[in-house]
Amino acid sequence: MAKATTLDVREQAAVLALVSVTQGKWHETASMLSEVGSAIRFLRGDWTGLESFDRETAQRLAHQVPPNAIDEYAALIEELEREGVYTITGRGPGDRHPPRLSPGE
């Protein structure tokens, strides 16, 4: 698998940071991230204002992420990659997807 770029790793780390503080349904967090298009943009509050999610809920979620969380998750992702373990968050063009996810193939 190709090595992820720094931006890809930071995007993945931002996804992990947001999901780690999600207390409700994780798929609702995923839906918000999908609408914004980037976990990093979500954390910055860089929204169009046309999103269907509740802005107050989104702001509360973003503010729950500790300031150093992205750096810590990025370091973890890079450490795991050195060991041959890859993170698949489903976010971003650099996300590496295995060719098949079905068991036994």
HEC string for the chain: CCCCCHHHHHHHHHHHHHHHHCCCCHHHHHHHHHHHCCHHHHHHCCCCCCCCCCHHHHHHHHHHCCCCHHHHHHHHHHHHHHCCCCCCCCCCCCCCCCCCCCCCC
pLDDT of residue 40: 96
pLDDT of residue 73: 96
Q: How many CB atoms neighbour CB 13 within 10 A?
A: 24
pLDDT of residue 85: 85
pLDDT of residue 88: 75
pLDDT of residue 4: 58
pLDDT of residue 69: 97
pLDDT of residue 102: 43
Residues of the chain predicted below pLDDT 50: 1, 92-99, 101-102, 105
